[in-house]
Structure 1
């Protein structure tokens, strides 16, 4: 089956729009000249675009067409994929709140899991995360940030082999904030850590980049000793950049340790 083309996509979205006038029309949707006027492009050029001979539109023109055609985020992404074979640039907005459904997903897990923003701010967590990592609710909001925690001078008390975690977390942070678009929050966090952490300055200068992937993470709790996890990160749809991190015990000893900590913190 043939895939959708850019001309087909533009025509179909134009025909779905309701004209502002109330007069009867022979064809559905807006006329080409109406879309062109909304987007600030010439009627001739837009007509060629729908005919497959208008050339490759710039990002700016695609954004104007997306607004003119009243596209939601999914259709805006499809517009860019059809025109440029890549997603559109991210438009940074403050991440949305965690939904009750997502919180129920977290609460159903017997392994540590939490939800973070592109700037690594922790906005939701489950009981296992509290048992293994610490009680986020007891922290001030600014201190619920992964980078602030792993680059804190006292991080060594609960993060054995913290060098690897700091390096991989920072490499993923750099990718996340670029995907999300520039933000004052990200810039302020980087400036702060550049001033307060010599190790942050050293690692930031290395300019290392990586996606989250599956990473090994080690935590130390006096009650059970060292715990080894495989950390997996999952994007949360329709959430303006939120992602969920799940820490799966990497061996039987770590799984038993998590269960013991959960029981010590009140079980289910």
Structure 2
């Protein structure tokens, strides 16, 4: 974790490097007078951002000043920052970006192929908000047919607290739900300004007194791997070890796989597969 002083120093260096790479012509300004340094002048960035020259100078010098998200947004636009650079700017400034950045706008064909190949092991792609973005057929044994639900309800938090199939089939429901809320709260610290996160939180707090009670405990936990048990119709009690495989350079969108935690669970899962696919003999196929 960077100290505040270190963040300000890095912010100053970052802003200066981004300013120096842009020519006046790139932003529609005339190249007037002799320039001792490459790129834009500080007063030109201030002009493009509609902020005071003194204030922007202090920002680039790493001084201890308060900066709003609106001003950072204007500076990011003036410096023509791409999404990754913009995110870095807000992190260094210690502010929340009001413009939500999608964790994973699409699930690639390669990821969909991997999901299918995981069968009979349940697997799904989740974002950090617990939205289910994609899943294989085996996952429906745990969560039901999500295709029948509207997109806003294809969320494990929602299903766990509002009577969805996923929540009903969880055996250790109380413990599992507490862990989900703790991880959700920890991640939401970086997304509190985003409308989709605020909407989901409001829906959960309104629809579920159980969620509200757990939410008020203010417990937090890091994302990770663990064990879950499901009572699956046609098979019985199946224990799984779930593993999160991150699909990007930072913890956000992940492929979650469920593998049997013991031989008995594996046999039950294979029988379940055989019941849904007559071409697979019981206890075989893998």
Task: Sort the TM-score into its range (normalised by shorter chain).
Answer: 0.7 to 0.9
Name stretches of at least 5 consecutive residues in structure 2 with no aligned partner: 1-8
User: For residues 180 and 38 of structure 1, what CA distance do their matches in structure 2 show?
Assistant: 28
User: For residues 39 and 45 of structure 1, what CA distance do their matches in structure 2 show?
Assistant: 11
Structure 1 position 107 matched with structure 2 position 116: yes
1:187 deviates by 4.5
1:202 deviates by 3.1
User: For residues 137 and 208 of structure 2, what CA distance do their matches in structure 1 show?
Assistant: 30
Structure 1 position 221 matched with structure 2 position 232: yes
Does the Cα contact within 8 Å between 1:113 and 1:245 map onto a contact in 2?
yes
Summarize the alignment of residues 79-228 of structure 1 with structure 2, pairs less than 5 Å apart: 79-80=89-90, 83=92, 88-91=95-98, 93=100, 95=102, 96-110=105-119, 111-153=121-163, 157-228=168-239
User: For residues 34 and 191 of structure 1, what CA distance do their matches in structure 2 show?
Assistant: 42
1:171 deviates by 1.9
For residue 9 of structure 1, what is the aligned residue in structure 2?
A: 14
Could you say what the CA RMSD is over the residues aligned between the two structures, in angstroms?
A: 3.7
1:213 deviates by 2.0
1:72 deviates by 1.7
Does the Cα contact within 8 Å between 2:240 and 2:258 map onto a contact in 1?
yes
Does the Cα contact within 8 Å between 1:117 and 1:123 map onto a contact in 2?
yes
User: For residues 64 and 184 of structure 2, what CA distance do their matches in structure 1 show?
Assistant: 32
Aligned pair partner of 1:70 in 75, 80, 90: 80
SS at structure 2 position matched to 1:172: helix
Structure 1 position 231 matched with structure 2 position 242: yes
User: For residues 238 and 64 of structure 2, what CA distance do their matches in structure 1 show?
Assistant: 53
User: For residues 182 and 268 of structure 2, what CA distance do their matches in structure 1 show?
Assistant: 29
1:218 deviates by 0.9
- Shift of the 48–121 alpha-carbon distance from structure 1 to 2, 3 Å rule, reads closer
User: For residues 65 and 114 of structure 2, what CA distance do their matches in structure 1 show?
Assistant: 41
Does the Cα contact within 8 Å between 1:112 and 1:129 map onto a contact in 2?
yes
Does the Cα contact within 8 Å between 1:132 and 1:261 map onto a contact in 2?
no
Does the Cα contact within 8 Å between 1:174 and 1:209 map onto a contact in 2?
yes
Does the Cα contact within 8 Å between 2:90 and 2:97 map onto a contact in 1?
no
Does the Cα contact within 8 Å between 1:229 and 1:250 map onto a contact in 2?
yes
Q: How many equivalent residue pairs? A: 260
In terms of mean alpha carbon deviation, does 210-219 or 172-181 score higher? 172-181
User: For residues 62 and 202 of structure 2, what CA distance do their matches in structure 1 show?
Assistant: 45
SS at structure 1 position matched to 2:220: coil
Does the Cα contact within 8 Å between 1:113 and 1:129 map onto a contact in 2?
yes
1:219 deviates by 0.8
